[in-house]
């Protein structure tokens, strides 16, 4: 048995995590150690504001596409302070497409449409014969079809159809959506094609897959896509406790879920309400939103993992999760007419903006760390797309 497996069986979780962190730091290059020390001195005081942060972060995403180590038109999963640029990541490239197209529409930057189109053409080229999309990085061989990743790419394909009306994108969209419908269990849950990178078991955060089906329903109504998505959301709501907590809502630690996966679950539920206007769905989203809001610091800090009582479980922020939840708070403010959610979203976003580097190395300017401090357990020493 490998040493890692032996340690996992015999050593308590917190001790094992400290051991892994120590082992990782032993081999870190100077740039990573310096960034970690700087982060531990505290959050920078400067908030560049939404406009400047948007400009530099979009520029970073374009760079991540250009510098992907697989050089294929997809967006590199990360820039690592240890290993440099990673390969393209189909899952997240899928939901970067709508970001590019939305900003192109708002700002008039036609070039962003070109960036999005390159991503879409790459995604269509790698679609699996059954209509699904693969797990993990594009470098993973052999490719394995996965429910979650297919749902995320579906978000990009639907945005591509709406923006370009391209028949290739429409065909790929229908193939992906039909595969999701056909592989769904009768109770609404997806169990047959899980990601190999998470612990086995049911995942209520796959409401974010349902969101992809809702967008497909809007683009091409009448194929049962919205109905299938709503079935899954109602199944997922059966996992919600009265305090808004969701059981099994994490990749690998259901007792202390990441805000990243909580944000996935919350967004899919809100999108279900936007499609169906069922007040019970909105009330479920409100419960989770209020519980998260109670844990938000005055400075916008949101702990990267929380327990079933919504208490902090780690001292670092998962910046991806913070922004996802901020977006959900903005939606809740609009849908529920409660300005408290809007103010919470503003605070959380301001916290993340303060972590963004504005000048210096172009590989990190505009990038968002996985965690703050950068040595946190989510995307350690990486800037994630």
Per-residue pLDDT of 329-355, as tens digits, reads 999 999 999 999 999 999 999 999 999
Report pLDDT digits (tens) over 235-245. Answer: 999 999 999 99
Query: 80 with 55, same domain?
Result: yes
Average pLDDT, the chain: 94
Query: Both tokens of residue 149?
Result: 């990743």
Whether the pLDDT of residue 177 is over 60: the answer is: yes
Q: How many whole angstroms separate alpha carbon 206 and alpha carbon 149?
A: 10
Query: What is the rounded average pLDDT of the residues 17-39?
Result: 76
What average pLDDT does range 90-105 have in this prediction? 97
pLDDT of residue 20: 47
- Cβ burial 209-246 (10 Å sphere, 16+ → b, else e): bbbbbbbbbebeeebebbebbbbbbbbbbebbeeebbb
Does residue 186 form part of some domain?
A: yes
Q: Is residue 294 part of a domain?
A: yes
Confidence of residue 24 (pLDDT cuts 50, 70, 90): low
pLDDT value, residue 3 = 36
Question: 327 with 255, same domain?
Answer: yes
Residue 5 pLDDT: 47
In a domain, 1, yes or no: no
Domain shared by 225 and 92, yes or no: yes
100, pLDDT greater than 80 = yes
Contact 93, 41 (CB under 8 A): no
On whether residue 7 sits in a domain, the answer given is: no
Q: Is residue 65 domain-shared with residue 187, that is, in the same domain?
A: no
Cα–Cα distance for residue pair 217/204, rounded to 1 Å: 21
Q: Please give the Cα distance from 330 to 342 (Å, whole number).
A: 5
Instruction: Give the pLDDT mean for 349-375.
Output: 98
Beta-strand ranges (E) seen in the chain are 78-80, 84-85, 133-134, 145-146, 317-318, 368-369, 371-372, 382-384
- Confidence (pLDDT) at 9: 47
Question: Which domain range does residue 385 map to?
Answer: 12-86+363-385
* Angle value at C-alpha 208, between 203 and 213, nearest 5 degrees: 115
Q: What is the mean pLDDT of residues 283-310?
A: 98
pLDDT (average), residues 309-315: 97
Q: Which segments of 44-166 does DSSP mark as H helices, in order?
A: 49-66, 90-107, 110-126, 147-164
| Residue 42 pLDDT | 95
Q: Which of 178-182, 195-199, 218-222 has the lowest mean pLDDT?
A: 195-199
Residues 172 and 68 in one domain: no
Whether 83 has a pLDDT exceeding 80, the answer reads yes
136 in the same domain as 64: no
Residue range 3-18, pLDDT digits in tens: 344 334 444 555 545 5
Residue 51 and residue 123 in one domain: no
Residues 268 and 357 in one domain: yes
Domain co-membership, 237 together with 256: yes
Statement to judge: residues 81 and 217 lie in one domain: no
- Proportion of the chain above pLDDT 70, given as a percent: 93
pLDDT score of 136: 96
How many domains are contained in the chain?
Answer: 2
Taken in order 226, 290, 298, 330, the sign of the CA dihedral is positive
pLDDT band of residue 1 (cuts 50, 70, 90) is very low
Q: Over the stretch 110-143, which tens digit does the pLDDT of each residue have?
A: 999 999 999 999 999 999 999 999 999 999 999 9
Q: In this model, does residue 282 exceed pLDDT 50? A: yes
Residue 6 lies in a domain: no
Residue at 179 is within a domain = yes
Q: Are 370 and 382 in contact, with CB atoms under 8 Å apart? A: yes
Q: Is the pLDDT at 161 greater than 70, yes or no?
A: yes
Question: What is the distance between the alpha carbons of residues 380 and 358, in angstroms, rounded to a whole number?
Answer: 20
Mean pLDDT of 375-382: 97
Q: 288-316 b/e with 16+ CB inside 10 Å = b?
A: bbbbbbeebeeebbbbbbbeeebebbbeb
Crossing angle of helices 319-336/339-354, nearest 10°? 160
Same domain for 357 and 377: no
The verdict on 118 and 56 lying in the same domain is no
Residue 255 lies in a domain: yes
**pLDDT value of position 27:** 79
Looking up tokens 């922020």, which residue turns up?
317
CATH number at residue 177: 1.50.10.10
CA dist 98 and 93 (Å) reads 10
Whether 265 maps to a domain, the answer reads: yes
The band of 325, judged by pLDDT with boundaries at 50, 70 and 90, is: very high
pLDDT at 19 over 50: no
């Amino acid at each position: 048995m490998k040493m890692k497996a032996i340690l996992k069986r015999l050593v308590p979780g917190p001790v094992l995590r400290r051991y892994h962190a120590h082992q990782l730091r032993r081999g870190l290059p100077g740039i990573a150690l310096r960034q970690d020390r700087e982060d531990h001195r505290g959050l920078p005081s400067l908030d560049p504001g939404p406009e400047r942060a948007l400009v530099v972060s979009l520029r970073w995403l374009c760079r991540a596409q250009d510098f992907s180590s697989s050089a294929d038109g997809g967006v590199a999963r990360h820039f690592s302070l240890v290993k440099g640029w990673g390969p393209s990541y189909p899952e997240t490239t899928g939901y970067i497409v709508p970001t590019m197209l939305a900003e192109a529409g708002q700002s008039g930057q036609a070039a962003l449409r070109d960036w999005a189109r390159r991503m879409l053409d790459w995604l269509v080229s790698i679609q699996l014969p059954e209509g699904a999309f693969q797990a993990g990085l594009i470098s993973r061989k052999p490719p394995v079809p996965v429910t979650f990743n297919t749902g995320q790419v579906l978000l990009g394909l639907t945005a591509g159809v709406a923006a370009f009306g391209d028949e290739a994108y429409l065909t790929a969209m229908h193939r992906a959506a039909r595969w999701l419908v056909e592989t769904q269990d009768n109770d609404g849950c997806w169990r047959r094609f899980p990601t190999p990178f998470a612990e086995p078991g049911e995942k209520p955060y796959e409401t974010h897959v349902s969101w992809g089906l809702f967008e497909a329903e809007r683009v091409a109504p009448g194929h049962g896509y919205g109905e299938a998505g709503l079935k899954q959301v109602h199944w997922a709501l059966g996992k919600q406790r009265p305090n808004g907590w969701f059981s099994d809502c994490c990749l690998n630690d259901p007792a202390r879920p990441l805000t990243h996966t909580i944000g996935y679950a919350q967004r899919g539920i809100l999108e279900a309400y936007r499609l169906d206007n069922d007040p019970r769905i909105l009330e479920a989203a409100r419960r989770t939103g209020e519980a998260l809001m109670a844990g938000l610091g005055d400075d916008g800090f949101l702990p990267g993992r929380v327990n079933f009582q919504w208490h902090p479980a780690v001292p670092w922020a998962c910046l991806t999760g913070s922004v996802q939840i901020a977006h959900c708070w903005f939606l809740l403010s609009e849908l529920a007419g409660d300005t408290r959610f809007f103010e919470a979203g503003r605070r959380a976003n301001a916290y993340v903006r303060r972590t963004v580097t504005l000048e210096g190395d172009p590989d990190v300017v505009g990038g968002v760390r996985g965690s703050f401090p950068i040595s946190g357990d989510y995307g350690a020493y990486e800037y994630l797309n």
